[in-house]
Structure 1
Amino acid sequence: MSFVFLLSLTLQVACAIHVIRSGRPLYWIWLILIGSYLAVLVYTVIAIIPDLRHDPRGRNAASKATNMIDPQRRRRELQRQLELSNTVDNRRHLAEECLQQGDYVNAQELYQDLLSGSMYATDPHFMEGLAQAQVGNENYADARATLDALIKANPNYRSNDMQLLYARCLEELGETEAALEKYEVLADSYPGEEGRFRYGSLLGRSERRAEARSVFQNQLRRAELMPRYYRRKEQAWLKAARLELSRLGES
């Protein structure tokens, strides 16, 4: 059985399944089976592509594919929007995109610009964004000062990411015990595995190996009870936890 035939059969079956699931007239199945590649192409253009455009999952998949092919595309669009209209929202969107892409230098400049106006001088979201950029630039003392100012100006503001940033600053600035206290809280409260991993990792580097092993073991046991999508989303931190546990050795 040739590869060409197998490929044609696979595409025909996939299109036939789409016909049934989308509720289209069943005569499409006969046309697809008779017309082979040509019918598959026609059906794809007429039915599948329009459906993907209206399906949120299809749009998300297309967006991810576009970002993989051209990761700078969204940033260029945001830059053009900012050039057309220098609004707070446009600067914020560009700053967030810079953060996401790891361009912390430009992100820091944008957030500093956003905070320079009197109206947004103590905006907690902008201050947290600035602290994230400063941490990315390894300016930990500046980031801590930004977070201290944020807390002072916005005492009721609550953010797990802000708490994690603060703990990282303390760790990098050598205030290990204070960092461990914050990480211990985040190990239970942070939505995701980063807080638990950073807590166990710092315990290990502080020669508290038994406690570190316990944190990583509990982390991995807990992750096994979570849904598959959660483990997939947190796989980088879970992999890092396994490596740290292996490095620490058996108790």
Structure 2
Amino acid sequence: MSPLLILSVALQIACAVHVVRTGRPMYWIFILLVGSFIGIAVYFFAEILPNIGSSRTARRAVRGVRDRVDPEHGKRRAARQLEVADTLDNRRRLAEQSMASGDYQQALALYQKSLTGLYKTDPDLMLGVAQAQFALSQPAQARATLDALIAANPNFRSSEGHLLYARAVEATGDIDAALHEYDAVAQDFPGEEGRVRYAQLLKRAGQRAKAAEVFNESIKRTSLAPKYYQRDQRAWVDLAKRELQDLA
């Protein structure tokens, strides 16, 4: 059997499966079987290509490729928008893009500039300031910013912000307070990072049995979770396994 024929059959089967799974009219299967490569091309351009742009998965994949090829694309676009209109939303957008690209100093300046008037104690902006400060190796300042955030917004809740606070407290050398914060973070953080970081600090603090318990909990929780969660958390679970081996 020639390679072209094998390719044709494989593509016909793939397209036929797509017809059935997506509820397309069944006459497409007849066209695919009779038309070979022509039928496959017609089906692709008529039924698959128009939907690629509207697919969330496809858009996410395209953005991922674009970001790898041109990581500064989002930042440049946000900077142009800010040049056109110096609004809070545009400033915030550029600050987020600056954080993502590693330009923490610019992100910090943009967030701080936005903390004025009605938004002087905006919790999301204050959290952005703390994130930039921590990224700039300023944990004491980040901790102070987060303390001020909670004082001004006592009902504000953010799992990312709570984890950042625990990390900032740890980085300032306040181990007991950091353990307390990590313990709280580990209870409700939507991922394994909080638990693994908590166990790492327990290990450094000499609480090896408790550290092993938390590492094992993280590994077990992930093994019982759906596949997508296991994929997303693989790096943290692998780290937990390595830490357990070191404890042993």
| TM-score normalised by L of structure 2 | 0.90
Question: Unpaired segments of 5 or more residues in structure 2?
Answer: none
Once the two structures are TM-superposed, the CA of residue 2 in structure 1 deviates from its matched residue by: 4.1
Q: How many residues are matched? A: 248
Tell me which residue corresponds to 2:57: 57
Cα distance in 1 for partners of 2:217, 2:25 equals 53
RMSD value, Cα: 2.0
Change (3 A) 1:38 1:74: farther
Change (3 A) 1:25 1:231: closer
Tell me which residue corresponds to 2:198: 199
Moved more, 157-166 or 122-131: 157-166
Tell me which residue corresponds to 1:14: 14
Cα distance in 1 for partners of 2:36, 2:101 equals 43
Tell me which residue corresponds to 1:246: 245
Cα distance in 2 for partners of 1:73, 1:44 equals 30
Once the two structures are TM-superposed, the CA of residue 70 in structure 1 deviates from its matched residue by: 3.2
Change (3 A) 1:222 1:38: same
Tell me which residue corresponds to 1:92: 92
Once the two structures are TM-superposed, the CA of residue 228 in structure 1 deviates from its matched residue by: 1.5
Identity %: 47
Cα distance in 2 for partners of 1:74, 1:44 equals 31
Instruction: Determine if the alignment matches structure 1 residue 37 to structure 2 residue 37.
Output: yes
Question: Unpaired segments of 5 or more residues in structure 1?
Answer: none
Instruction: Determine if the alignment matches structure 1 residue 4 to structure 2 residue 4.
Output: yes
Moved more, 129-138 or 228-237: 228-237
SS at match of 1:162: helix
| TM-score normalised by L of structure 1 | 0.89
Contact 2:75/2:101 (8 A) holds in 1: no
Residue 192 of structure 1 aligns with an amino acid whose one-letter code is G
Residue 224 of structure 1 aligns with an amino acid whose one-letter code is S
Change (3 A) 1:4 1:70: farther
Cα distance in 1 for partners of 2:227, 2:102 equals 28
Once the two structures are TM-superposed, the CA of residue 49 in structure 1 deviates from its matched residue by: 1.0
Tell me which residue corresponds to 1:150: 149
SS at match of 2:53: helix
Change (3 A) 1:18 1:86: same
